[in-house]
């Protein structure tokens, strides 16, 4: 009897953080694979060569024959499925999978529950909040995905719960995720430079619900309603008065409460996070936590101490009665609208907004409403400043600034006691910074020079 050795291999496309994690995972599993990246010098090339010197690596344009010869393609989220070689491979029947697909298969085999969270905005906050709630409940929880560590890097023995933040890019080629509970927090236009229209983006997001056992739905956003079988438990959260067994907000006496049906849970003022948008985030996190059996006490305790994430409506300083807030993670219009609507009602004066960067094909007209209600002036910077200006023209007051330093100097000059200076760009940062973190750090550093 002779052994037949297959020459088929898995092909990892993209050698960023996710691609490297997939290479490490497949190597640990003893699987044959190759790696391809369109860049001449991808960021983790040296590390891969050091760790796995025998792994074939292909740099430059993706070769059709390389993709067609693969047993499967594991696609990094930064690479579009519309690449010609990938289109040809898909037509030829080569499976195209994500790292999340690989992760979910292993997690299901291990019998570990998965909380899967996506949405245009707030997914990092809610993912982190659920993770903290699980820790408070004494669970060994692994948190990652689009946030922190790639999903396959989380796989380990002894994990009680996985909590994943997932992007639309990751979900595009994830099939049958099978989460214990899945949620689309909200849907607003984003990445319109990659998707043909909002429906295509919406459909990618809703892949998170495939084969889920329970779903959490935003009752204030019809675009989050999933098409799932009747056997799937559905729980709604809303900033309004909830139905029995659902999560919402109710005023009792002089206090607003987060409630489940008729049961008060925690007063809004007792939460460590501020802003209306964070009330919604807290409700979503409790609904998700309930679905995987987290005790209410652990969830309440977490809400009383969790102050939020860096660069997400993060207080920087109060100078002369003016608050300076870093919301650099507001990288799309929906996120900036949420920040304006969440913070605006509690501002004694008005908001001076700093916005701009790489707009990703966005429609900025949704900024007009909240800026009309809460804004004093908007300062526009970056590559797509003119596109934002066109959306705001004749509706709200704005000025152009050359870079963050000039924008902040102008904002400082316009602000009076009671006002709020808000960096919430509604754009990506890559025209001027390495990422939203660097942009937020620069803003905070400049604010501190004003003291």
- As annotated, the active-site residues are 123, 146, 191
Per-residue DSSP letter, 149: B
Maximum C-alpha span of the chain: 86
Specify the 3-state DSSP secondary structure of 255: strand
Copy the structure tokens of residue 425: 């760009």
Where on the phi/psi map is residue 328: left (φ > 0), alpha (ψ -120 to 50), or beta? alpha
Q: In the sheet that 33-37 helps form, which strands lie side by side, from edge to edge?
A: 57-59, 33-37, 10-13, 72-75, 96-97
Copy the structure tokens of residue 39: 């860049």
Report which secondary-structure segment, H or E, holds 380.
strand 375-380
Strands (E) located in 138-254: 141-145, 161-165, 181-184, 214-218, 233-237, 247-252
CA of 82: how far to CAs of 85, 88, 122, 207, 393, in Å? 8, 9, 28, 18, 35
Report which secondary-structure segment, H or E, holds 134.
helix 123-136
∠ CA 58-63-67, rounded to 5°: 90
Per-residue DSSP letter, 320: T
CB 322 within 8 A of CB 420: yes
Copy the structure tokens of residue 192: 């319109």
């Amino acid at each position: 009897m002779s052994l037949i050795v297959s020459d088929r291999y898995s092909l990892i496309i993209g050698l960023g953080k996710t691609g490297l994690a997939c290479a490490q995972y497949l190597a640990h599993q003893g699987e044959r694979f190759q790696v391809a990246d369109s860049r001449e010098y991808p960021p983790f090339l040296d590390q891969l060569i050091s760790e796995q010197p025998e792994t074939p690596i292909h740099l430059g344009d993706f070769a059709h024959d390389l993709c067609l010869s693969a047993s499967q393609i594991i696609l990094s989220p930064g690479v579009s499925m519309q690449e010609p070689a990938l289109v040809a491979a898909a037509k030829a029947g080569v499976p195209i999978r994500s790292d999340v697909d690989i992760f979910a298969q292993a997690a299901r085999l291990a019998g570990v529950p998965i909380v899967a969270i996506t949405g245009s905005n707030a997914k990092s906050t809610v993912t982190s909040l659920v993770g903290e709630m699980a820790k408070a409940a004494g669970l060994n929880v692994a948190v990652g995905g689009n946030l922190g560590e790639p999903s396959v890097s989380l796989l380990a023995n002894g994990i009680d719960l996985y909590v994943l933040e997932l992007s639309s890019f990751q979900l595009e080629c994830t099939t049958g995720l099978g989460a214990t509970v899945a949620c689309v927090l909200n849907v607003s236009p984003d990445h319109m430079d990659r998707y043909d229209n909002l429906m295509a983006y919406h459909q990618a997001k809703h892949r998170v619900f495939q084969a889920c056992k329970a779903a959490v739905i935003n009752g204030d956003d019809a675009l989050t309603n999933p098409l799932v079988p009747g056997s799937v438990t559905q729980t709604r959260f809303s900033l309004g008065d909830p139905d029995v067994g659902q999560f919402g907000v109710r005023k009792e006496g002089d206090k607003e409460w987060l409630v489940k049906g008729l049961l008060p849970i925690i007063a809004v003022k007792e939460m460590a996070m501020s802003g209306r948008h964070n009330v919604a985030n807290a409700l979503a996190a409790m609904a998700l936590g309930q679905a995987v059996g987290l005790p209410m006490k652990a969830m309440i305790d977490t809400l009383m101490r969790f102050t939020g994430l860096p660069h997400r409506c993060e207080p920087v300083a109060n100078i002369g009665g003016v608050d300076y807030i870093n919301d650099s993670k507001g990288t799309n219009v929906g996120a900036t609208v949420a920040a304006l609507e969440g913070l605006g009602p509690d501002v004694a004066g008005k908001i001076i907004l700093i916005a701009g960067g790489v707009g990703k094909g966005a429609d900025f007209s949704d900024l007009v409403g909240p800026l009309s209600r809460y804004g004093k002036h908007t300062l526009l910077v970056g590559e797509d400043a003119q596109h934002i200006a066109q959306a705001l023209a004749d509706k709200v007051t704005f000025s152009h600034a050359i870079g963050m330093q000039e924008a902040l100097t102008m904002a400082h000059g316009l602000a009076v006691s009671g006002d709020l200076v808000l960096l919430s760009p509604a754009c990506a940062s890559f025209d001027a910074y390495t990422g939203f973190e660097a942009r937020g750090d620069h803003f905070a550093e400049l604010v501190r020079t004003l003291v």
